[in-house]
Structure 1
Amino acid sequence: MSAAPKQDQYDVVVIGAGPAGLAATAMTAEAGLSTLLLDENAGPGGQVWRAINSTPVKTEALLGVDYWSGAEIARAARDSGAEIIHRATVWSLDRDLEIGVSVGGGSAFIKAKRVIIATGAQERPFPIPGWTLPGVMTAGAAQTMLKSSGLVPDCPTVLAGQGPLLWLLAAQILRLGGRIDRVLDTTPRANYIAALPHAFAFLTSLYFSKGLAMMREVRAKVRVTSGVTELAAEGDGTLSAISYATASGKRERLPAELLLLHQGVVPNVNLAMAAGIEHRWNERQLCWTPVLDAFGNSSVAGIAIAGDGAGIGGAQAAVVRGRRAAGDAIKALRPQAKIVDLSAELARAERGRAFLDVLFQPARQFRIPQGDTIVCRCEEITAKDVLDSVAIGATGPNQLKAYRRTGMGPCQGRLCGLTVTELMAEARGKSPQEIGYYRLRAPVKPIMLSELASLPKSEESIKAVVRG
């Protein structure tokens, strides 16, 4: 096992090296706590600050000042004295704060006195007809290529969806000389009215001026079609066209070789759910969020969740949440320590978030597909397959596994879980909370049998792998 953890027990283990994880790591390590940071990427930054130490895009204006703000926090974590391991897959976490991690082809179990989960967000599923065609990608995947390798589209390209990331990606692609033929905005017009009660907070927030400038920058260079209510990717074996319709009745078919989809981000909950942490359906953000106290502490003693994994709040809020969780861990392990109250700073960072949550709440037809549209990409299960299973007795996502194997592929439900919950809830006339989510167990990420075989053959480790 290459670059294995140096110890088998730490005061604090932080999982995820995005904004929250880096901030938490620096704080606990600087306080003198033995700290281990585990991250599955090649370097620090998470998605927001991806490749912050290695991106070939060196001109600050191209990626924006918000991106480069991550360099200082990444440097603080590096210099804090914490042990940091990249390319580490965390595949297990239990109530005893034992963590299963694989690095370099081998696995090990480590113990912690406190765990801070900072696994961040993932893109919300966008199940439209043809979304599995080669040539269709998520905006997040395109942004990963842009930040990591400086790659931008040079073929007929369409961006479709809604939310801040869609506009940010469009601006970054254009700044780097990439090609965008059209932006198809799926923001429902009714959302603008629904968001009005939250407008003042947004207008006086950090988001407003930046967001407005970015949208103006894109609109000055690319044609934007608003009010899109229908969307489909077409092609025989690969993407060749995109068809859409708008609320005004306009229909058009655009030739395209690349379609970038995005309709917001949601918390990455798989590891937290597998650890038995209580989650509830968030009606505003339309996703599962963990039940936490003010410092991010979960329903499992010793485990806190920070950053967007605790509920979408953005990078600045994630940094503050990471520091609050770290401060609480320090206070628990070093009762004499003095911790600064960050409540006011968090309130400033989160100001305006409610407006964005309501404005960019995806339309029903882009969350709950129909007919032959694929829901579960891993097992190629369609919306009709799911509804047929409900008709013959499947009551929730876990029963659906037995009927159709949904959520049992390599992604472990990440790309279909929300869709399955909402689809089954609507079919059964129940709330998503009543329908529930997949029952998740270790390993929550794909690992090789050889990695499991490398574990010490103690009775305790065997029970950890096969626990129910």
Structure 2
Amino acid sequence: MTDATRPNCELAIVGGGPAGMAAAALAAELGVETVLFDEQPTPGGQVYRNIEANSRTRDALRDILGADYAKGLALAEHFRSSGAVYEPLSAVWQVSAGGKLGVSQNGKAYLTKARRVILATGAMERPFPIPGWTLPGVMGAGAAQTLMKASGVVPDRPTIVAGSGPLAYLVAFQLMKAGTPLNGIIDTSEKSVFGAGLAAIPLLSGFAGDLFKGLSWIAALRKMRVPILKGRKLAAEGVSRVEAVSFESGGRRQRLPASILLLHEGVIPNNQITASLRCKHVWDMAQMAWRPHTDEWGATSLDLVAVAGDGAGIGGSRAAVHRGRLAALDAACRLGRISRGERDERARPERRALQREAPFRTFLDRIYRPAEAVRRPLEDTVVCRCEEVTAGELRALVGEGFTDINQLKSFSRCGMGQCQGRMCGSTVAGILAESLATDMESVGYYRLRLPVKPLPVALLAELGNADSGSRPSLQVVEGDPSQRI
């Protein structure tokens, strides 16, 4: 915190995106002592990153990022004026079931305890392992957009965007407007986006603007003669960096030159903290991802912990705001600031708004379901980037009798790198499920260890406000032994 010696707060919120800002603003207005911990220097999260600075500029970047991005300014301003305490550049590396948070900030680590915790950690790009994805020049489409928002930096070399999902086309459209030389878009989705969008207009009349917006990106890209190709079995080619992208399309192998390859196959909940807490999780078949099991208020299987926004299941930025407010209302009720009746009454418009958003999310989940080929990496494809383990090595271990995901982790070192399995966990689980001819629910997920963020031992040894009786335990909260994640 700003005063790192303060040992506690009523409500701790982790993450400064739409859900976190909305939850913090409402909770503070209801009289809850609220602290929002954010890894970024300013509020906004990934969706509205650097929104305050970019909204004040008059250069081309504001036009490139568009009106939807600009809407985040009102949310950030509301949060700033709410009275909630904002702790930027703060990495939360531990959350315990009892509400204790481990935080590193400005080169120091400290502990604080909250009576309630709302995790608003948002989403992350789905890992998209293809041959050559570890080459320099290959990165996520979301990462390219982050650079654009944070620094106004865009690729100035021949670029290809590959994958599926609305963000792939949005990033391609924004890069085209920024002057990036686009050599092509390789769409890996199994359904025709353009055809599905037009067919869905009568069914999603309330979202005609969203549909036409997405279709307009495609139309603008075609107008600028950017090749849009259906493709599968992608591979990045090159020696010291990516030089080309090869793929199957129309029954034959094609190859496009590129110096930058931006991959995107949708987003999944960022659930590192809830997994480390042993919260109950479920496998979401519609979104092909793990998510924490929550009630209608975002409360998890642990008494003090709730999840708001995309961290509880992908719903988009608009839905994240409403889910953040619902979590805040429940927190205020549990903390004695409002009655249950007032909580329920205030929740009604938020729930109606979420119901309005639901059909469009269902539509997106269906047309952008990851293709089967994407979920089955080839033998020589590196799955774990940290430890350089291939899909073939993992399948060989399964053939030798390693049928538990944590056995695979122990013997292959998959998931033991700095990312703690964020970039390989879902892929490894998919390989294991496929090899055993079972489902993801049965396979489960890695048993994560604390800290969930890289933390120098020196910081741990010099915790600013921890005496010998209150140092953090780096033992995993076991919870229900039958719960696999």
Q: Normalising TM by the smaller chain, what interval?
A: over 0.9
- 2:434 is aligned to 426
Cα 1:196/1:177, change in 2 over 3 Å: closer
2:477 equivalent to 1:465:
no
Report SS of the residue matched to 2:474.
helix
Cα 1:256/1:191, change in 2 over 3 Å: closer
2:232 equivalent to 1:229:
yes
- 1:238 is aligned to 241
Q: 1:46-85 alignment to 2 at 5 Å?
A: 46-55=45-54, 58-59=59-60, 60-85=62-87
Question: Of 340, 358, 370, which residue of structure 2 is paired with 1:350?
Answer: 358
Structure 1, 204-213 or 364-373: larger mean CA deviation: 204-213
Contact 1:157–1:181, Cα closer than 8 Å, also in 2: yes
Question: Of 168, 171, 183, which residue of structure 1 is paired with 2:170?
Answer: 168
Structure 1, 236-245 or 185-194: larger mean CA deviation: 185-194
Contact 1:10–1:35, Cα closer than 8 Å, also in 2: yes
Length, aligned pairs only:
466
Contact 1:16–1:118, Cα closer than 8 Å, also in 2: yes
Deviation at 1:197, TM superposition (A): 10
Question: Of 373, 384, 387, which residue of structure 2 is paired with 1:379?
Answer: 387
Contact 1:57–1:150, Cα closer than 8 Å, also in 2: no
What is the TM-score with the length of structure 2 in the denominator? 0.91
Question: Of 401, 419, 422, which residue of structure 1 is paired with 2:409?
Answer: 401
Report SS of the residue matched to 2:373.
helix
Q: 1:202-221 alignment to 2 at 5 Å?
A: 202-205=204-207, 207-221=210-224
What is the TM-score with the length of structure 1 in the denominator? 0.95
Structure 1, 388-397 or 5-14: larger mean CA deviation: 5-14
Contact 1:18–1:46, Cα closer than 8 Å, also in 2: yes
Q: 1:245-282: per-residue Cα shift (whole Å, max 9, x none)? A: 11x21322111111000010000010111122110111
Deviation at 1:223, TM superposition (A): 2.7
Contact 2:222–2:228, Cα closer than 8 Å, also in 1: no
Q: 1:122-271 alignment to 2 at 5 Å?
A: 122-189=124-191, 200-205=202-207, 207-246=210-249, 248-271=250-273
- 2:22 is aligned to 23
Q: 1:187-217: per-residue Cα shift (whole Å, max 9, x none)? A: 1138999999977544532531222222222
Structure 1, 455-464 or 379-388: larger mean CA deviation: 455-464
- 1:308 is aligned to 310
Structure 1, 313-322 or 341-350: larger mean CA deviation: 341-350
Report SS of the residue matched to 1:356.
helix
Deviation at 1:71, TM superposition (A): 0.7
Which residues of structure 2 form unaligned runs of 5+? 478-485
Q: 1:22-72: per-residue Cα shift (whole Å, max 9, x none)? A: 000111111111100001112111110011122367554321111011111
Contact 2:158–2:180, Cα closer than 8 Å, also in 1: no
Distance 2:405 2:199 in 1: 35
Deviation at 1:131, TM superposition (A): 0.4
Contact 1:158–1:182, Cα closer than 8 Å, also in 2: yes
Residue 461 of structure 1 aligns with an amino acid whose one-letter code is S
Residue 125 of structure 1 aligns with an amino acid whose one-letter code is P
Structure 1, 213-222 or 364-373: larger mean CA deviation: 213-222
Distance 2:467 2:203 in 1: 56
Contact 1:29–1:80, Cα closer than 8 Å, also in 2: yes
Distance 1:293 1:357 in 2: 21
Question: Of 448, 455, 458, which residue of structure 2 is paired with 1:450?
Answer: 458
Q: 1:99-152: per-residue Cα shift (whole Å, max 9, x none)? A: 111111111111111111000000001100000000111101100111111111
Q: Percent identity?
A: 43
Q: 1:407-437: per-residue Cα shift (whole Å, max 9, x none)? A: 0100000000110011100001110010010
Contact 1:23–1:77, Cα closer than 8 Å, also in 2: yes
Residue 454 of structure 1 aligns with an amino acid whose one-letter code is E
Contact 1:320–1:345, Cα closer than 8 Å, also in 2: yes
Contact 1:89–1:445, Cα closer than 8 Å, also in 2: yes
Deviation at 1:384, TM superposition (A): 0.6
Distance 1:196 1:210 in 2: 12
Distance 2:141 2:205 in 1: 26
Deviation at 1:441, TM superposition (A): 2.3
Cα 1:467/1:362, change in 2 over 3 Å: closer
Report SS of the residue matched to 1:366.
coil
Distance 1:371 1:249 in 2: 22
Report SS of the residue matched to 2:129.
coil
Cα 1:423/1:203, change in 2 over 3 Å: farther
Report SS of the residue matched to 1:419.
helix
Distance 1:115 1:16 in 2: 11
Distance 1:40 1:466 in 2: 24
Distance 1:421 1:209 in 2: 37
- 2:480 is aligned to none
Distance 1:68 1:52 in 2: 7
User: RMSD over aligned Cα, in angstroms?
Assistant: 2.1
- 2:35 is aligned to 36
Residue 311 of structure 1 aligns with an amino acid whose one-letter code is G
